Amino acid sequence: MRILIVEDETIAARGLEKMLREIYGKEITSLKVERSLMGSECFLEEHSIDLLFLDLNLDGREGFDLLRNIISQSFHTIIVSGMTEKAIEAFEFGVLDFVPKPLKKERLEKALKKWKDVAANSRYTKYLSVRKDDKAEIISLKEIAYIQGQNNNTVIYRKNLTADTHRKTLDSLTKILPSYFFRIHKSYLVNLREAKYLKSKGGGKYILELKNGKALPVSRKIYSELKKRIE
C-alpha cells in the first residue's frame, strides 16, 4: 500500500501516520508526508500511490486545488479536515470519505474499510485532466477517441478530433486507463470502443480506422492481438 499524506501541521501529520501504521503495519510499502500543494503535485508527477489523505487548509491554500490538478491518477482520496462545512463540496470532487478533525482511530478505520471495499473493485481512473488558462478541465474517458505520445507529454484527441496536451507519458497512462484503451503503436493508445475496422495496407503495414474517420498506424507486433480484440 502506497500512501501520501498532505498536511501542513506536523503534529496532525505524525498522528495520522502513527494511526495508519498501527492499523496496517507491514502492508504499508511507502508513506510520504508533504506539507504543500506544490510539493504534493511534484511528488504525484513522479510517484504512483494508492491512497491520498488530504487536508483542506494548507498554509492558507485550498487542498481542493490538488484534486483539480492531479485527477489523472488511479488513487482514492480521503479528506481529513476540521472544515466540516466543506464536506458536500468534497464529495462533489469524488473523494472516498471525509474524516473530521480531531481525528479518531475508530473513524479512520471506518474510512479505511470503505477504501478496501472500493479498491477491490476499481483500480482505474475515469477521467483525465488538461490545463487551460491556468485551470484544470476534466475530460471523461467516454469523450476520448485516442491518445498520441509526444515526447514526455501526450495529446488527447476527443471524438470530435479536438486536441489537448496532457502532462503524462503514454507509458504512465497505460497503467491507469482501463483495458479498452489499447496500445496499438509505440505512439498511439486507442479507445477500442471507437474502433471501426482494421485494415492491411500490404507490405506488413496496417491501419486502424476509428468511427470519426481517423486512420492510425498499427504495429505489426500487436496486429494479431488487436484483430482478436475488435472482432
**Amino acid 131: pLDDT:** 74
Domain 2-119 -> CATH class: alpha beta
| Topology given in CATH for the domain delimited by 143-230 | OB fold (Dihydrolipoamide Acetyltransferase, E2P) (2.40.50)
What is the pLDDT, as a whole number, of residue 188? 96
pLDDT at 76: 85
List beta partners, residue 4.
32, 52
C-alpha of 56 from chain center:
20
pLDDT score recorded for residue 55:
95
d(CA 132, CA 129): 10
- Report the C-alpha gap between 135 and 129 in whole angstroms: 10
Q: Is 16 helix (H, G, I), strand (E, B) or coil?
A: helix
Structure confidence at residue 185 (pLDDT): 95
Identical fold, 2-119 and 143-230: no
Domain map (residue ranges) of the chain: 2-119, 143-230
Cell of 180: 479498452
The pLDDT profile of the chain, 231 residues, written as one tens digit per residue, is 899 999 999 999 999 999 999 999 999 999 999 999 899 988 988 888 889 999 999 877 888 888 877 655 668 899 999 999 988 888 877 788 999 999 999 999 999 998 887 766 555 677 787 777 666 677 888 999 999 999 888 999 999 989 998 878 888 888 778 889 999 999 999 999 999 999 988 888 999 999 999 999 999 999 989 988 887
User: Contact 215/208 with Cβ under 8 angstroms?
Assistant: yes
Segment (H or E) for 144? strand 144-150
pTM reported for the whole predicted model: 0.58
